[in-house]
Structure 1
Amino acid sequence: MNAESEEPVRRRLSRAEAKARTRALLLDAAARVFARKGFTGASVEEIAESAGFSIGALYSNFGSKEALFLELLSHRQTDRIAEAAQTLDRYEPGTGEAAAELGRLLIDVADKDIDFAPLQAEFWLYAVRNPHVLESMAANLSGPRRALEGVISTSLAQQGAPAGVSAEAVATVVAALFGGLVRQRRIDPDSVPEELFGQALKWLFVGINAGTAPAATDGD
């Protein structure tokens, strides 16, 4: 058997696999270009060229620069939520280890993923000024939001929260808390120490449970 026959035969990608690979390469290129240029400064031409594709390939896969950015944002949020869910699965509820790990997750996002938080802020302003983009943003991020609601629902059940507490509402508060603390950490790192996010989550859940206590009467 000669050397050539020992070489593995490269399997031709299916159409779906080729499309998925193209999208992944475009997303990777977009992340790099957006990080360097910002959302407004980045051009579809530069993103496509960086990925090794034509502008037509970019538009056929994502439709617009806004849709490309929203897909990238959705992936980032989904990854973070999955990481948080894995953290909660590793520890017993109420022991403190999970809160500490979630605090470290926030610090990693704030201190290591330093380009994306400003990008999110820039895109939020862009979307507010373009209502049709704002609607697309809400629709595109519904998947990560549902994933977060699932994590919150599990935590509420583990901590004995009343059945009437809305996982959707708590997820909204947790998402806002996380995003706000990331931005504050970038402004003033000392004001957001590693343990703060976990502690804030404890305050939130203690408050949720305390809200079910019967009100005191005048005779108590």
Structure 2
Amino acid sequence: MARTQDQRRAETRARLIDAAADLFARKGFHAVSAEAVAGVADRTTGALYNHFGGKEGLLLALLEVWKDETAADLLAAFAGMTELDDRLAALFDVLTRGDGDRGASWLLLELELWLHGARDPAIGEPLARRYAGIRARLADGLADWARLAGVPLRRSPERTATAVLGVLIGCAVQHRLDPPAVELRAVVDALRDLLGLPAP
């Protein structure tokens, strides 16, 4: 059966994202050209620009895919966990390890995109919106947890989400360079403190 135009477009998009994930993670975003990504994906550079507007748009799309996959992984992991500490540990684990090299690759690409966005509003503005969406989802989850657990948050869900994200990313950055220096227990205790819970 012949594929529809939508199916062909979806396949091209997926191939370009897969190629970018491999090349950007191994060589760095700035060291890889749009032509190199298109070549590995067996697509034209025109297709890359048509789907993503350029290399920056491709990187944003890649990080969105990873964000969605990470959220799905976390939900699946949470389904089998009853202890809060296990869930807090899973939040950090998915950023530092993930499936295969995704956790480590995500962090490197996230930092490259942040640096690029800090210098270029065309990237910085959509990146800021992306972080706002992540914080909003996290705030909703924290508010639901506080209500179900009967534990009032010390700060608003929005402020708590900002601080939780800061601890997770900040500790992941340190862990990337010196894993033994960032103990999982210390990260979990910091998150418990933000949630207004005593250390166990």
Normalization by structure 1: what TM-score? 0.76
How many residue pairs end up in the alignment? Answer: 197
Contact 2:117 2:123 in 1 (8 A): yes
SS at match of 1:39: coil
- Alpha-carbon displacement from aligned partner over 1:111-161 (angstroms, at most 9, x marks no partner): 943333222212211111112210021234554444333332322222324
Contact 1:106 1:197 in 2 (8 A): no
> Which aligned pairs between 1:75-86 and structure 2 lie closer than 5 A?
75-86=65-76
SS at match of 1:41: coil
Q: Determine what percentage of the aligned residue pairs are the same residue.
A: 32
Equivalent position of 1:33 in the other structure? 23
CA distance in 2, matches of 1:84, 1:107: 13
CA distance in 1, matches of 2:65, 2:135: 12
Equivalent position of 1:188 in the other structure? 178
SS at match of 1:118: helix
CA distance in 1, matches of 2:133, 2:69: 12
Q: Quick check: 1:124 aligned with 2:114? A: yes
Contact 2:24 2:32 in 1 (8 A): yes
Decide which moves more: 119-128 or 24-33: 119-128
Equivalent position of 1:203 in the other structure? 193
- Would the alpha carbon gap of residues 149 and 18 (structure 1) be closer, same or farther in structure 2, given more than 3 Å must change? farther
Equivalent position of 2:78 in the other structure? 88
- Would the alpha carbon gap of residues 108 and 19 (structure 1) be closer, same or farther in structure 2, given more than 3 Å must change? same
Q: Match of 2:28, as an amino acid?
A: G
CA distance in 2, matches of 1:12, 1:163: 55
CA drift at 1:165: 4.9
Contact 2:25 2:105 in 1 (8 A): yes
Equivalent position of 1:212 in the other structure? none
CA distance in 1, matches of 2:19, 2:64: 16
- Would the alpha carbon gap of residues 125 and 106 (structure 1) be closer, same or farther in structure 2, given more than 3 Å must change? closer
Q: Quick check: 1:68 aligned with 2:66? A: no
Contact 1:103 1:196 in 2 (8 A): no
Equivalent position of 2:14 in the other structure? 24
Contact 2:34 2:55 in 1 (8 A): yes
Q: With CA pairs under 8 Å and 6+ residues apart, which has the higher RCO, 1 or 2?
A: 1
CA distance in 1, matches of 2:96, 2:29: 24
Equivalent position of 2:137 in the other structure? 147
Aligned with 2:124 (options 134, 138, 150): 134
- Alpha-carbon displacement from aligned partner over 1:19-57 (angstroms, at most 9, x marks no partner): 111111110001111123211111100001110100111
Normalization by structure 2: what TM-score? 0.83
- Would the alpha carbon gap of residues 19 and 83 (structure 1) be closer, same or farther in structure 2, given more than 3 Å must change? same
Q: Structure 1: any 5+ residue segments left out of the alignment?
A: 1-10, 209-220
Aligned with 1:15 (options 5, 9, 13): 5
> Which aligned pairs between 1:153-172 and structure 2 lie closer than 5 A?
153-162=143-152, 165-172=155-162
Contact 1:78 1:147 in 2 (8 A): no
Q: Structure 2: any 5+ residue segments left out of the alignment?
A: none
- Would the alpha carbon gap of residues 156 and 117 (structure 1) be closer, same or farther in structure 2, given more than 3 Å must change? same
